[in-house]
Amino acid sequence: MNTNTLSYSLGLTLILGAILIIVIFPDSGRLYLIAGFLTLIGFVMKIAGFVMRQGKVSQ
């Protein structure tokens, strides 16, 4: 598995996990904070995977 594919897939998994945490525990402020961090890390990993993929295409 390529690094860019792995990064993109893990980013999607983290975002999905954050959404599930919010849906399952809607009243917990602490879990909202954890879900926010997971979303931030997930978006960064998705962007990194996309940029790495674009770099390989242009070479």
Per-residue pLDDT of the chain (59 residues; tens, 9 = 90+): 688 888 889 999 999 999 999 999 999 889 999 999 999 999 999 998 888 877 766 66
- Provide the pLDDT for residue 3: 84
**Hey, where are the domains in the chain?**
3-58
DSSP assignment of 2-57? -HHHHHHHHHHHHHHHHHHHHHH-TT-HHHHHHHHHHHHHHHHHHHHHHHHHHHHH
- Burial class (CB within 10 angstroms; exposed 0-12, middle 13-18, buried 19+) of 58: exposed
